[in-house]
Amino acid sequence: EEKLLEVKDLKKYFPIKQGFLKQAEQIKAVDGITFDIYKGETLGIVGESGSGKSTLGRTIVRLYEPTDGEILFEGKNFEKVPSGQIGDFRKDMQMIFQDPFASLNPRMRIGEIIAEPLKVSTNLNKAQRKEKVINLLEKVGLPVETLTKFPHEFSGGQRQRIGIARALATNPKFIIADEPVSALDVSVQSQVLNLMQDLQEEFQLTYLFISHDLSVVKHICDRVGVMYLGKLVEIGSKADIYSVPLHPYTQALLSAIPVTNFDRKREKIHLKGEPPSPSNPPAGCPFHTRCPKAFDRCAIDQPELVLQKEGQYVACHLYDEKTVSPKENKDHAM
């Protein structure tokens, strides 16, 4: 399989200044994340709000400047591209947001909105742009009359179709979708997801699909990565992650979706407390303050993301050779 994107030890820290002493503190929103995305696949990134998944997406396309690490797009170091030349890459990588119109001019007609990226990154003339926009509308299942209408005239599902058409305008290879269906009714969600899958096949797109909703991710993804407090704690094929999740956090997340989705019944795992602040993450395993399986070592050593079985990587001491068997540690568990 050919890699489209390689993310290596990516970090995005946001400085926060506190009080008049201006004591420097940082929010470690993305704290050393490494993974690859293969051409034509959909990689899902899941986690609770505040886990850093949106920041990860925005840092990959350099809507945020990375604090550290590497972003290789088709083997080229995208993180080193001067900001003035980012546009050359942006036509290859686009984003779809939860509400694509939140950042768009409500006074612009849909035709102009979709044509905007064409003006910037192609030399199509006006007539060619119009033809392309009509074609894009057709691809996303909207009538030609859409051209002359304004954003407020559309439902959430239609607006997401328009957002997708706009993202497709520059013939991108890679699309990062950040909670693209979270604001939509469940019936509309599956229509938009099916559309995304059809377009993926037609245009050989690669997706990074960010969502807090494990049912949605199960519908659309080939592989799944799980984030907690700015770190990737598990990544693997959808089949492996959903049938045999290894990380206790993944196990807890999956236990919260209805059992009808699964071959066997799962007990719901209740996590204690809220996720800690990313400005002050716990020492050791970032999950140890809530982990039902934590033992002595977890508060001290930070587990690395390591290969456990083919294609499935986990950051947890339970699977570490150096770790005393968790059975022998029963007294410390819980």
User: Which positions touch Mg ion (CB under 5 A)?
Assistant: 54
Q: Does 288 bind ligand SF4 (CB under 6 A)?
A: yes
Side-chain half-sphere CA neighbours of 48 within 13 A = 16
Residue 220 DSSP one-character state: H
Determine the Cα–Cα distance for residues 133 and 127; give it in Å rounded to an integer: 10
Rounded to the nearest 5 percent, the helix, strand and coil shares of the chain are 35, 25, 40
Q: Which stretch binds ligand SF4 (CB under 6 A): 22-30, 189-197, 259-267, 293-301?
A: 293-301
Q: Which two tokens stand for residue 15?
A: 């400085």
> Which tokens in the block code for residue 153?
């005239």
C-beta separation of 223 from 41 below 8 A: yes
Is residue 278 involved in binding ligand SF4 (CB under 6 A)? no
Q: Which does 54 bind (CB under 5 to 8 A by kind): Mg ion, ligand SF4, none?
A: Mg ion
Segment lying near ligand SF4 (by CB under 6 A), choices 79-87, 130-138, 199-207, 287-295: 287-295
Q: Which does 285 bind (CB under 5 to 8 A by kind): Mg ion, ligand SF4, none?
A: ligand SF4
Does 252 participate in binding ligand SF4 (rule CB under 6 A)?
Answer: no
Shortest Cβ 43–ligand SF4 spacing (Å):
22
Distance in Å, CB of 48 to ligand SF4, minimum: 15
- Count CB neighbours of 153 within 10 A: 11
Residue position matching structure tokens 């990516």: 10
- The single residue among 94, 291, 305, 313 that binds ligand SF4, judged by CB under 6 A, is 291
287 near ligand SF4, judged by CB under 6 A: yes
CA 39 from centroid of its chain's CA atoms: 16
In terms of CB distance, is 60 or 226 closer to ligand SF4?
226
DSSP string, 113-136: HHHHHHHHH----HHHHHHHHHHH
93 binds ligand SF4 (CB under 6 A): no
Nearest distance in Å: CB 301, ligand SF4: 8
Q: Which residues bind ligand SF4 (CB under 6 A)?
A: 247-248, 285, 287-288, 291, 293-294, 298, 303, 316-318
